[in-house]
């Protein structure tokens, strides 16, 4: 391991770390700016030079009790939870994102682990070819599939429905591949013992294999959930009504409308914070799983 | 309809008894996989040879889409932007990631916290973070980047409105989002280097630089290659960053198409103009380029190992 120019313990060590501290600060800058911007009043947000600390914290960007429909007042504006389109507001988009992320993550992980289990421990004629097909499909870039998938979803009549958001993302070949690596190492005796006891494939998977996969489920679940939470392009294609709008879509719309009316900026910071916070919080709780999951390809490949 | 001969029927029944239920269990996965992963590959290949606007049935045009594509100036513009973006982001992010791994590789609390900070964009990136970048790069005097320029005595610029700045902003965002990921992978790679190699080098009187040059760097070679290849592939497919930062109601490419990328180009033709056949052709050109990229990198990797 390479040591730093100034070894730990020397009194110059912290001096050597000072430029590094600046680096860390600059990487965190967008988050800091978002976090303080979300609680600034609009006049403070456009102050010049900008304030680097919130002088008059406000929750107006989330919810302004003094605002009502039609009011034009430089001191009051609609917070993110007051902006309603076709009867649906930010809370509804939040729920959409949450439900879609949870359903896709859970369902795709469970089904992929079942497939991996059957392919490895209950092989059938053609199961090797099937696995080869799954592997090969991982090389196809997503750009190839979005056009025909959009057509398929339209032909199924799924535009502006939840199935359009959920179903196409349920069969994830890379998750099958990930679980296969783990299941291959599971001793056959364990599976055979369950079969002897009269447990069918489904039962064995549920009570023997899944508990063994728990660390793996957590690790691969993180990147899957993050990708789903941030998913932007696919919902953009298949949803254009407010009822099925997800957070990234709404945020994209808000950022697209970012005009030089500073009120849009204030609300945008609040919305960005609301979207990023669950991801940041989950990450801080499950750091290890996150890093394991996101780096799985690098260390195993 | 004739019944199949008895032995065949018996074999089928046996097969069904042994595997039928298992197959039934994985059938839902396989159905979704077939419908949304396999079938679209074939369909996309077919569509790329047709004129298809989603309303009437696809009409065969042979290589027409591809010919149009290669003759389109905007396509080459997108190609140039994408290649420049890809080269800049992957090289900068890999070298800076290595530098950061060297600087923040220890187990001290502060270094661990720093690694978490750098890793944050990999977790809480996405549209939320990009929206903030858009606000930071605001041309108004209260935009933070222009305020910082002001401190340095520089004139404010229109980061998102001046074609000269488009790629600079995009590269900065791109490097920012993968830097921490690269760093964490490098740290893991450095941990895996056996300590005795360093001890041997130290016994031979190797300086710190020599230890880096002749032990760390060669041992990190696979990691470096992996990050370079995956980084190039990912940045080649960049979409939502330019779309959010530069997209407007009537254009996706930013000022004078200076932020037009191959995937935004595909999106523009496929989903704004609903020229789905043409967009499929773009997708296949993109795929071919991605495979070429992976192939060249693998060859370079192997050639490097041989020496």
- Greatest mean pLDDT among A249-253, A264-268, B103-107, B140-144 lies in A249-253
Of A37, A141, A269, Cβ closest to residue B290 = A141
| CB A203, CB A195: distance < 8 Å | no
Q: What is the pLDDT of residue B36?
A: 96
Mean pLDDT calculated for residue range B252-279: 93
Kindly list the distances between the CA atom of residue A99 and the CA atoms of A228, A231, A285, B256, in Å, as whole numbers in the listed order. 11, 13, 20, 40
Q: Which residues contact A47 (CB under 8 A, 6 or more apart)?
A: B142
Q: What is the pLDDT of residues B24-63, one digit of tens each?
A: 999 999 999 999 999 999 999 999 999 999 888 899 999 9
Q: What is the pLDDT of residue A79?
A: 86
Shortest CA gap A257–chain B (Å): 8
Question: Which residues on B lie below 8 Å from A130 (Cβ)?
Answer: 30
Q: What is the pLDDT of residues B74-92, one digit of tens each?
A: 999 999 999 999 999 999 9
Q: Average model confidence (pLDDT) for chain A? A: 87
Angle at CA B23, nearest 5°, toward A153 and A139? 55
Mean pLDDT calculated for residue range A65-74: 82
Residue of higher predicted confidence among A179 and A263:
A179
Q: Which of B128, B141, B283 has the highest number of chain A CBs within 10 A, making it the mutation to test binding with A?
A: B128
Residue of higher predicted confidence among B107 and A6:
B107
Mean pLDDT calculated for residue range B210-231: 91
Q: Which of A144, A167, A219, A297 has the highest number of chain B CBs within 10 A, making it the mutation to test binding with B?
A: A144
User: Global pTM?
Assistant: 0.90
Q: What is the pLDDT of residue A138?
A: 92
Q: Which residues contact A225 (CB under 8 A, 6 or more apart)?
A: A101, A102, A105, A282
Residue of higher predicted confidence among B204 and A94:
A94
Q: What is the pLDDT of residues B88-131, one digit of tens each?
A: 999 999 999 999 999 888 888 888 889 999 999 988 888 999 99
- What DSSP element (H or E) covers A251? helix A247-256
With cut-offs at 50, 70 and 90, classify the pLDDT of residue A259.
low
A80 has a chain B CB within 8 A of its CB:
no
Cα(A258)–Cα(B243) distance, integer angstroms: 13
Search chain A and give the residue with CA nearest B287. A141
The answer to whether A143 contacts B132, with C-beta atoms less than 8 Å apart, is no
A28 has a chain B CB within 8 A of its CB:
yes
Classify A14 as helix, strand or coil: helix
Kindly tell me if the per-residue pLDDT of A140 is higher than 80: yes
Cα–Cα nearest to B85, from B292, B225, B184, B231 = B231
Question: Which residues on A lie below 8 Å from B117 (Cβ)?
Answer: 24, 27-28
Q: What is the pLDDT of residue B4?
A: 64
Q: What is the pLDDT of residue A10?
A: 61
Mean pLDDT calculated for residue range B137-144: 84
Cα(A232)–Cα(B146) distance, integer angstroms: 29
Kindly tell me if the per-residue pLDDT of A290 is higher than 80: no
Q: Which residues contact A278 (CB under 8 A, 6 or more apart)?
A: A229
Search chain B and give the residue with CA nearest A163. B32
ipTM of predicted assembly, 2 dp: 0.89
Q: What is the pLDDT of residue A294?
A: 67
């Amino acid at each position: 391991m390479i040591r730093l120019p100034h070894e730990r313990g020397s009194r110059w060590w912290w001096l050597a770390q000072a430029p590094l501290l600046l680096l860390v600060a600059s990487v965190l800058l967008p988050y800091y700016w978002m976090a303080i911007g979300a609680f600034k009043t609009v006049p403070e947000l456009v102050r010049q030079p900008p304030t680097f600390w919130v002088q008059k914290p406000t929750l107006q960007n989330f919810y302004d009790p003094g605002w009502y429909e039609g009011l034009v007042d430089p001191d009051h504006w609609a917070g993110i939870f007051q902006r309603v389109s076709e009867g649906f507001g930010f809370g509804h988009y939040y729920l959409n994102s949450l439900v879609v992320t949870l359903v896709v993550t859970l369902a795709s992980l469970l089904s992929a682990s079942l497939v991996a289990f059957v392919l490895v421990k209950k092989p059938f004629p053609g199961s090797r070819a099937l696995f080869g097909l799954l592997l090969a499909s991982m090389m196809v870039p997503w750009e190839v599939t979005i056009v025909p998938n959009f057509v398929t979803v339209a032909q199924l009549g799924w535009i502006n429905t939840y199935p359009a958001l959920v179903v196409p993302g349920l069969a994830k070949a890379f998750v099958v591949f990930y679980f296969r690596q783990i299941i291959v190492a599971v001793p056959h005796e364990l599976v055979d013992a369950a079969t002897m006891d009269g447990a069918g494939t489904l039962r064995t998977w549920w009570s023997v294999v899944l508990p063994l996969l728990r660390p793996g489920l957590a690790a691969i679940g993180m990147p899957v959930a993050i990708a789903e939470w941030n998913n932007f392009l696919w919902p953009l294609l298949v949803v254009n009504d407010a009822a099925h709008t997800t957070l990234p879509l709404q945020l994209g719309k808000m950022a697209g409308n970012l005009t030089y009316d500073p009120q849009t900026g204030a609300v945008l910071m609040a919305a960005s914070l609301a979207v990023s916070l669950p991801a940041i919080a989950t990450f801080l709780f499950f750091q290890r799983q996150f890093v394991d999951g996101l780096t799985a390809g690098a260390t195993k490949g | 309809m004739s019944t199949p001969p008895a032995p065949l029927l018996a074999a089928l029944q046996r097969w069904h008894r042994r595997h039928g239920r298992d197959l039934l269990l994985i059938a839902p996965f396989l159905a979704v996989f077939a419908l949304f992963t396999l079938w679209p590959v074939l369909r996309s290949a077919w569509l790329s040879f047709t004129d298809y606007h989603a309303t009437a049935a696809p009409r065969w045009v042979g290589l027409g889409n591809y010919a149009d594509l290669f003759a389109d100036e905007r396509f080459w513009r997108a190609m140039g932007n994408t290649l420049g973006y890809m080269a800049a982001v992957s090289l900068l992010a890999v070298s800076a990631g290595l530098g950061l791994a060297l600087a923040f590789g220890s187990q001290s609390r502060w270094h661990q916290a720093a690694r978490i900070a750098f890793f944050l964009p990999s977790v809480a990136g996405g549209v939320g973070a990009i929206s903030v970048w858009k606000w930071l790069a605001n041309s108004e005097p209260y935009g933070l980047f222009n305020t910082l320029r002001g401190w340095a005595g520089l004139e404010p610029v229109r980061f998102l409105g001046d074609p000269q700045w488009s790629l600079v902003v995009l590269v900065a965002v791109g490097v920012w989002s993968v830097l921490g990921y690269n760093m964490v992978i490098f740290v893991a790679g450095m941990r895996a280097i056996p300590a005795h190699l360093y001890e041997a080098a130290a016994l031979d009187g190797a300086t710190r630089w020599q230890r880096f040059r002749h032990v760390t760097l060669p041992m990190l070679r696979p990691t470096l290659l992996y990050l370079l290849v995956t980084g190039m592939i990912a940045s080649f497919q960049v979409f939502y960053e330019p779309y959010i930062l530069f997209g407007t109601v009537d254009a996706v490419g930013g000022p004078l198409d200076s932020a037009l990328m191959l995937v935004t180009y595909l999106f523009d033709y496929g989903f704004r103009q609903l020229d789905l056949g043409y967009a499929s052709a773009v997708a296949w050109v993109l795929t071919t380029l991605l495979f070429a990229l992976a192939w060249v990198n693998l060859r370079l990797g192997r050639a490097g190992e041989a020496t």
